[in-house]
Amino acid sequence: MAVELRGISKRYGQVLALENVDFTLERGEIVGLVGDNGAGKSTLMKVLSGAVRPDSGSFAVDGQPVNPGNPIGAREAGVEMLYQDLSLVDDLPTVMNVFLGRELTTRFGFLRFGEMRRHAQGIVDGFSVRGFSVTQPVGQLSGGQRQVSAIARSIGFGSRYVILDEPTSALSPNARQEVVEIISGLARSGIGVVMVSHDLATVRQICSRVAVLHLGRLAGVRAMTDTTQQELVSLIVDGHA
Amino acid sequence: MRANNPPETAGAVDTHRFFPAWVADLPPLLGPTKVPLIAPATMLVLLAVVMAFTRGDFFSTGNLRAIALDASIIMLLGVGMTAVITARGIDLSIGAILILSTVVFAAALKDFGLPLWVAFVLCLATGAACGYVNGLLVTYLKMPDFIVTLSTELVFRGLALVYAGGAVFFGFPDFVKFIGRGRFLDIPMPVIISVVVVVVAHILFAYHRIGIRLHAVGGNPVAAARQGVNVVRYRIGSYVIMGLLSAVAGIVLMARLDAVVASGAVTLLLNTIAAVIVGGTYLFGGRGSIVGTFLGAWLLAVVSNAVVLLGFEAFWQHVAAGVVILITIGLYSRRTARLDG
């Protein structure tokens, strides 16, 4: 049970963004995806989420091939993307953000608000972050609670794999710790997590493996227990240990 | 962690203390976003109380009917404008759409001798088509809505003037006059029409997925698009509704006056925007309230009525309306600042 990318290459004009990259993500594990600016992290993330169609390579989820370059296909296959900006509508409550575009309605389109509220509250209450009501506008929530709202939307519809883009950037230390606990909780519940980040300390804290990209190539994949900070920095900067 | 299988009894955090549990299952009664309605509601009540003490006839049936009639056109236009502004747009061409639609109605009836129902259909279709043109220009050509609708205001009004010139269409059939001057249960028909539109719009705005998506499109169009909401369709849809309601408002106005003139309806735009903004709808999108617009339209109508009742010249209506708008927005801004933390 895994997401598998094999031999992924992608070129933008003269720039080779990804070259023959392999990547796997098992359910229940957290894999860090790190690299310098321009290393290809964003492109690989977009390939995973279906936002970008690779020039070559294959994409499979739980053994089933997924049509690459199709966000809806990736989502239906169980892969959800969580953007760095969280893509929340600040004035709407969490419950509406969670169900935006997939509202539970009567056959005439009227909201089944009670069901939506209970479902969203159930997901939110499952996180270790300080409890909050899903009827509060997300603009009034703390950084950690906003992250929970966005993650609730990602996992609320049966997703098995989540890609998190810089989930701890621009957060206070407290909110960062909340997010770390949330991500760990996701993995414990059996969801596979890709964490794209520049925050090596957090990556080392919660990831079981880390994939390092350098100038579009996979510089290495390391189990966190078998690597050091020094080795990771060398892979990021020089492309080799 | 119980991410994908939420428990049946989840949601203890926001359980109401004073109401039965099923109350928590109702969607927010006033709409999905928090709009500070307290400001226009307070101003409306204050003004009504002051007027009640100053002029004993303020609460007479006749005067309330006059106020309601005055508010009805702004309510109709305000509903459309609330949809457009909530979806992060603005429509400056509503006066011209109103006029062009009613000129089409009058021409169909008077110049071409078409049946009444055909004239109604053509009128509404003209309004919707004008809104569709606005929506297409704003979304597909990605032109600023302010510039687009300022330009189409000139185009639509110009077309009405080209056809009608300075002519006045008048003497419409009795059914048309009934729409503007008739009563049902002693309530003027324009008031009934506008209240029905307000109620239906509020239900769609607050309890239907259309309303939620409209707020999302205005609040964060990128996020809405990522969640599969067709942002372009919703934005165009808001302009089409605006155009359609401009035509409806045109029919009501024409029916009240029993006349159409291509150079009319020039002051409705600012009053409509004022009613919407006073009602708490956020000018830059994402936060809107039909109930607020209803209050805003009534507030402006009460101000105009008060000026007349107190014996001032009619020109003072503008001064009074401006002052009341400033005070209300002042209250609203303080409240919004608190809401935003």
Sorting pLDDT into bands at 50, 70 and 90, what band is B283? confident
Sorting pLDDT into bands at 50, 70 and 90, what band is B12? very low
Which candidate, A200, A207, A234, places its Cα nearest to that of A219? Answer: A234
User: Which three-class secondary structure state does DSSP give residue B154?
Assistant: helix
Q: How far apart are CA B238 and CA B220, in angstroms?
A: 16
Q: Is A114 on the interface with B (CB under 8 A)?
A: yes
Q: Do A103 and B212 touch (CB under 8 A)?
A: yes
Which candidate, B206, B287, B329, B272, places its Cα nearest to that of B72? Answer: B272
Is the pLDDT reported for residue B11 higher than 70?
no
What is the tens place of the pLDDT at every residue in A159-217?
A: 899 999 988 887 778 778 888 888 898 899 899 999 999 888 899 999 999 999 999 99
Q: Do B4 and A156 touch (CB under 8 A)?
A: yes
Token pair 């794999």: residue = A161
In B, which residues are within 8 Å of A89 by CB distance?
A: 215-216, 219-220, 223-224, 286
What residues of chain B have any CB closer than 8 angstroms to a CB in chain A? 1-8, 10-14, 22, 24-28, 32-34, 207-210, 212-213, 215-216, 219-220, 222-224, 226-229, 282, 286-287, 339-341
Q: Do B227 and A83 touch (CB under 8 A)?
A: no
Q: Do B220 and A88 touch (CB under 8 A)?
A: yes
- Which of the residues B220, B283, B289 would you substitute to probe the A interface, choosing the one with the greatest number of A C-beta atoms within 10 Å? B220
The residue of chain B with its CA nearest to that of A88 is: B223
Q: How much of chain B exceeds pLDDT 90, in percent? A: 60
Q: How far apart are CA B22 and CA B15, in angstroms?
A: 10
What is the tens place of the pLDDT at every residue in B41-67?
A: 998 999 999 999 988 888 999 999 999
Q: How far is B144 from chain A (nearest CA, A)?
A: 22
Say what the pLDDT of residue B13 is: 43
Rounded (10°) CA dihedral B276, B278, B281, B282: 120
- Which of the residues A49, A75, A92, A183 would you substitute to probe the B interface, choosing the one with the greatest number of B C-beta atoms within 10 Å? A92
CA quadruple A84, A85, A87, A88: dihedral positive or negative? positive
Rounded (10°) CA dihedral B221, B223, B229, B235: -10
HSE-CB of B153 using CA atoms within 13 angstroms: 18
Q: How far apart are CA B266 and CA A36, in angstroms?
A: 59
* CATH of region B32-334: 1.10.3470
Which candidate, B203, B210, B204, B217, places its Cα nearest to that of B86? Answer: B217
Q: How far apart are CA A71 and CA A171, in angstroms?
A: 28
Q: Is A130 on the interface with B (CB under 8 A)?
A: no
Among A88, A139, A155, select the one facing B223 at the smallest CB separation: A88
Residue A17 has which token pair? 């963004």
In this predicted complex, what is the ipTM?
0.84
CA quadruple B309, B310, B316, B322: dihedral positive or negative? negative
- What are the structural domain ranges in chain A? 2-88+161-238
Say what the pLDDT of residue A91 is: 93
Say what the pLDDT of residue B338 is: 54
Distance of CA B122 to the CA centre of its chain: 22
Say what the pLDDT of residue A128 is: 64
Contact (CB, 8 A) for B261 and B160: no
HSE-CB of B45 using CA atoms within 13 angstroms: 6
Q: How far apart are CA B161 and CA B171, in angstroms?
A: 20
Among B3, B24, B207, select the one facing A110 at the smallest CB separation: B207
For residues A19-43, average pLDDT = 93
The residue of chain B with its CA nearest to that of A72 is: B228
- Which of the residues A49, A83, A100 would you substitute to probe the B interface, choosing the one with the greatest number of B C-beta atoms within 10 Å? A100
Q: How far apart are CA B117 and CA B234, in angstroms?
A: 29
Q: How far apart are CA A135 and CA B50, in angstroms?
A: 38
H/E element holding B205? helix B189-207
* CATH of region A2-88+161-238: 3.40.50.300
Size (chain B), residues: 341
In B, which residues are within 8 Å of A105 by CB distance?
A: 208-209
Which candidate, A132, A189, A131, places its Cα nearest to that of A156? Answer: A189
- What are the structural domain ranges in chain B? 32-334
Q: Is A98 on the interface with B (CB under 8 A)?
A: no
Q: Return all residues near B40 (Cβ < 8 A) that are at least 6 apart.
A: B278, B279, B280, B292, B295, B296, B299, B328, B332
Q: Do A100 and B8 touch (CB under 8 A)?
A: no
For residues B319-326, average pLDDT = 83
